[in-house]
């Protein structure tokens, strides 16, 4: 089965630069024809009285500043961090800042993500070519990025390379406006807390009062940015701007959408992967009582009604005939195929240095096989999409991780142009990569196209669990040798089941200094639909690498943390590990039946070391009383939000390591709801401590880097407590229970 379509596409430096060559070549004929990226905006986004200063900033006469963000809000708080970065450079009054999600139109394509990914601030780009290349990145991003929320890119790319620039450009425009108004040199004026003032004359004006005149100026694409020493907003814990509406209930999620004339649709999806509905017996369907139409689109069957409850009950009365698919597929057959491929299939070398074979022959190799299971996203808000299809137009209300790509997808499926599709962004009740997929929009669009009235399509928990885009299950074989307390060689072969992560970003490389290494993958496409899952391949490789590091440390008779320090010269990694040793009480003795494990993973330009403590109770019940995280994510934008991201990541990763597993038998997913795909609860959640390293480095990601170290740190702690080496997840497969 082909993997489901994802919008976290294969955007790489090579593909960006190749496309830039095409676009740039066309623009080179007339550099002055390149539009100014920051002047692009949809006039319709300005409400009555508002002035658009540049793409990402608009302002009212009473000084209310709105920051438009090209990222979805799914609980990560990125919108507030982006607003802080813009407001800092704008010298705005934080109390006057609000955020909205940018419209899903081409003008709000997130070109800053692409630009930042490749060239940063573009310091090495000649000034005369900068407008052309900046516009080129915009055109490239239309097809490759859209409004992607994923890959921990919001702060480290959009914020660092885009929102700072937008804020600084807006400040320069406002100062110029005041200079013209007062007939004084702009360099003599001061901008602070939403006001421009002239120290010599005492004149001052609010940003709101100057906005209309400022909008006449062209935003600088390379404005002067503030020194971090002058920051007053960035680096402080500002309350999240999205929270008041969530507390009062005013915030709108997909499940909250209601429209005049709207009906609800419950859907039945194939019980066997890949099957299609060939017949629907409606003889048992109740008549009246609010039940509407039965819609068979092949890949799904839906019933519409005046409420979801009525639609779901009516759906149960249908007798659906499903044909085709993969009825012989099982977890055992998938595992057997990967086992065979791991042994026999051709390998593709991803990283090689030194003479691994010679080094392995000199020592006594140890070899371990690891495996990780399929995992579901299990978002708290069920999958849903409200759509209204009519002649020449379509409106879509959906919480999605890429609104522009979702618009384009809906347009293609409904034979419309993108301009005929209007997206209405709503909050996401959890995403983790699941809401980057297009399946919910495809099915809702097909239903809406048939009934031609507003319809809210809701997937039950059971349908979503059994029809997800899972994190791939893969195998790994690692062999290594240790001499005189140091690793001399590592050979690693792993299955690559294609999670959608581009090769240029995959974490196949070892994070330590290993003189002889050979890292190879074997392509083995997954028969189950797979997609991006929070922290993607780092969660798999992190488990393999950090579990094996502990095994090699044991072979060397070394302390696991000291062993890691002995194998890295990276000053940032060393500092994180040293701090972890201190704050996690690493060197204190634990009672019998207790264990303490460490793991360190660098992902998305952020280094995270975690120390997990375990206690083994009667009946092999595992209790995790404490998790300590030490994080170097570069400059921290909002300390409170940053800590929340790490603590949430620990719960997410720990849940997967303790319980998480999707299995298949007779072509059917066996897990249907939370009773058989369990979650960590408050009663067994650990006490957490999060420590951030002081850093002047640019910000790294934070939405995902806290996930990968959790599982190996837990497994390593269990080894310390029991002497058992965990090579397969979840830990319940080894006779452990969760206390």
DSSP letter for each residue of 144-158: HTTT---TT-IIIII
Confidence tier at 15 by pLDDT (50, 70, 90): very low
Q: What is the pLDDT of residues 589-620, one digit of tens each?
A: 999 999 999 999 999 999 999 999 999 999 99
Please give the share of the chain, as a percent, with pLDDT higher than 70: 94
Please give the share of the chain, as a percent, with pLDDT higher than 90: 88
Structure tokens at 338: 């990967």
What number is the average pLDDT over the span 163-184?
A: 98
> pLDDT value at position 501?
60
Report the CATH number of the 13-248 domain: 3.30.365.10
> pLDDT value at position 28?
44
What number is the average pLDDT over the span 439-463?
A: 98
Q: How many CB atoms lie within 10 A of CB 179?
A: 17
3-state secondary structure at position 690: strand
Identical fold for domains 13-248 and 345-374+470-738, yes or no, is: yes
Q: Is the pLDDT of residue 320 over 90?
A: yes
What number is the average pLDDT over the span 256-271?
A: 98
pTM for the whole structure = 0.94
Q: What is the pLDDT of residues 331-365, one digit of tens each?
A: 999 999 999 999 889 899 999 999 999 999 998 99
**Sequence-ordered strand ranges (E) for 163-300:** 190-192, 195-197, 204-206, 263-268, 275-281, 291-296
Confidence tier at 703 by pLDDT (50, 70, 90): very high
Q: Is the pLDDT of residue 11 over 60?
A: no
Q: What is the pLDDT of residues 460-508, one digit of tens each?
A: 999 999 999 999 999 999 999 999 999 999 999 999 997 666 565 567 8
| Dist CA 153 CA 104 (whole Å) | 18
What number is the average pLDDT over the span 629-636?
A: 98
Pick from 712, 486, 697, 719: nearest CA to 575: 697
Pick the range with the lowest mean pLDDT from 3-7, 335-339, 702-706.
3-7
Confidence tier at 722 by pLDDT (50, 70, 90): very high
What number is the average pLDDT over the span 404-422?
A: 98
What number is the average pLDDT over the span 9-14?
A: 44
Pick from 92, 132, 91, 97: nearest CA to 221: 132
Structure tokens at 51: 């002035």
Q: How many CB atoms lie within 10 A of CB 361?
A: 11
| Dist CA 280 CA 562 (whole Å) | 64
If you search the block for the tokens 């397969």, which residue do you land on?
728
Average pLDDT, the chain: 93
Return the CATH class of domain 345-374+470-738.
alpha beta
What number is the average pLDDT over the span 100-117?
A: 92
What number is the average pLDDT over the span 706-732?
A: 98
Cβ(85)–Cβ(167) below 8 Å: yes
| Dist CA 213 CA 205 (whole Å) | 12
> pLDDT value at position 4?
42
| Dist CA 150 CA 646 (whole Å) | 16
Pick from 680, 676, 681: nearest CA to 662: 676
Cβ(207)–Cβ(176) below 8 Å: no
What number is the average pLDDT over the span 40-46?
A: 94
Helix H or strand E encompassing 78: helix 78-90
Cβ(23)–Cβ(421) below 8 Å: no
Cβ(689)–Cβ(699) below 8 Å: no
Q: What is the pLDDT of residues 275-286, one digit of tens each?
A: 999 999 999 998
> pLDDT value at position 696?
93
> pLDDT value at position 498?
79
Domains of the chain, by residue range, sit at 13-248, 254-325+383-458, 345-374+470-738
Pick from 609, 537, 549: nearest CA to 580: 609
CATH number of 254-325+383-458, picked from 3.30.2130.10, 3.40.50.720, 3.30.365.10, 3.40.720.10: 3.30.365.10
What number is the average pLDDT over the span 151-156?
A: 95
| φ, ψ dihedrals at 22, nearest 5° | -70, -50
Pick from 175, 284, 277: nearest CA to 220: 175
């Amino acid at each position: 089965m082909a993997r489901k379509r994802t919008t976290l596409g294969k955007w790489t430096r090579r593909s960006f630069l190749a496309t830039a060559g095409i676009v740039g070549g066309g623009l080179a004929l007339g550099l002055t024809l390149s539009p100014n990226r920051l002047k692009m905006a949809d006039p319709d986004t300005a409400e009555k009285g508002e002035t658009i200063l540049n793409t990402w900033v608009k302002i009212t006469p009473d000084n209310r500043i709105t920051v438009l963000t090209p990222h979805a809000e799914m609980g990560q708080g990125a919108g507030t961090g982006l607003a802080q970065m813009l407001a800092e450079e704008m010298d705005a009054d934080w109390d006057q800042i609000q955020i909205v999600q940018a419209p899903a139109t081409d003008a709000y394509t997130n070109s800053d993500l692409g630009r930042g990914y490749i060239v940063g601030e573009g310091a090495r780009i000649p000034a005369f070519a900068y407008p052309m290349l900046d516009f080129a990145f915009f055109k490239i991003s239309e097809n490759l990025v859209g409004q992607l929320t994923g890959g921990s890119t919001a702060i480290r790319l959009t914020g660092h390379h885009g929102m700072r620039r937008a804020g600084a450009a807006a400040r320069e425009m406002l100062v110029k406006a005041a200079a013209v108004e007062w007939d004084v040199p702009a360099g003599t004026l001061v901008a602070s807390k939403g006001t421009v003032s002239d120290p010599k004359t005492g004149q001052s004006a609010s940003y709101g009062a100057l906005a209309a005149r400022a909008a006449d100026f062209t935003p600088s694409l390379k404005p002067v940015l503030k020194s971090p020493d002058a920051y007053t907003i960035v680096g402080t814990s500002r309350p999240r701007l999205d929270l008041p509406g969530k507390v009062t209930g005013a915030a709108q999620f997909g499940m909250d959408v209601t429209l005049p004339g709207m009906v609800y649709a419950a859907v039945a999806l194939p019980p066997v992967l890949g099957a299609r509905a060939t017949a629907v017996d409606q003889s048992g369907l109740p008549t009246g009582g609010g039940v509407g139409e039965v819609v068979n689109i092949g890949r799904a069957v839906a019933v519409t009604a005046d409420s979801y409850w009525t639609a779901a009950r009516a759906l149960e009365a249908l007798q659906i005939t499903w044909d085709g698919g993969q009825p012989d597929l099982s977890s055992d057959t998938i595992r057997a195929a990967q086992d065979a491929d791991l042994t026999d299939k051709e390998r593709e070398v991803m990283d090689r240095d030194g003479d691994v074979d010679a080094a392995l022959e000199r020592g006594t190799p140890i070899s371990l096989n690891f495996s990780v299971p399929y995992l579901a996203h299990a978002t708290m808000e069920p999958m849903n999409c409200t759509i209204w299809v009519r002649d020449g137009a379509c409106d879509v209300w959906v919480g999605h991780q890429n609104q522009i790509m979702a618009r384009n997808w809906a347009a293609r499926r409904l034979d419309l142009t993108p301009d005929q599709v209007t997206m209405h962004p709503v909050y996401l009740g959890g995403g983790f990569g699941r809401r980057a997929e297009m399946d919910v929009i495809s099915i809702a669009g097909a239903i809406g196209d048939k009934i031609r009235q507003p319809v809210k399509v809701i997937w039950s928990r059971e349908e979503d669990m059994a029809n997800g885009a899972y994190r791939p299950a893969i195998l790994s074989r690692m062999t290594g040798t240790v001499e005189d307390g140091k690793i001399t060689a590592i050979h690693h072969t792993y299955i690559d089941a294609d999670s959608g992560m581009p090769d240029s970003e995959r974490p196949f490389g070892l994070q330590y200094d290993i003189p002889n290494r050979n890292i190879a993958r074997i392509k083995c496409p997954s028969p189950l639909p797979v997609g991006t899952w929070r922290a993607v391949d780092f969660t798999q490789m992190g488990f393999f690498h950090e579990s094996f590091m502990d095994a090699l440390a044991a072979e060397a008779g070394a302390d696991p943390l000291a062993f890691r320090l002995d194998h890295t010269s990276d000053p940032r990694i060393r500092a994180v590990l040293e701090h972890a040793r201190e704050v996690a009480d690493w060197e204190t003795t634990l009672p019998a039946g207790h264990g303490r494990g460490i793991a360190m993973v660098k992902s998305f330009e952020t280094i995270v070391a975690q120390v997990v403590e375990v206690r083994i109770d009667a009946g092999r019940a595992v209790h995790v009383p404490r998790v300590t995280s030490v994080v170097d994510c570069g400059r921290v934008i909002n300390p409170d939000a940053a800590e929340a991201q790490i603590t949430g990541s620990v719960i997410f990763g720990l849940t997967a390591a303790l319980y998480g597993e999707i299995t298949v038998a007779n072509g059917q997913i066996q897990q249907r709801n939370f009773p058989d795909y369990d979650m960590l609860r408050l009663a067994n959640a650990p006490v957490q401590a999060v420590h951030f390293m002081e850093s002047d480095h640019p910000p790294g990601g934070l939405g995902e880097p806290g996930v990968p170290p959790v599982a190996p740190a837990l497994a390593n702690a269990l080894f310390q407590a029991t002497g058992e080496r965990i090579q397969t997840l979840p830990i319940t497969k080894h006779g452990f229970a969760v206390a």
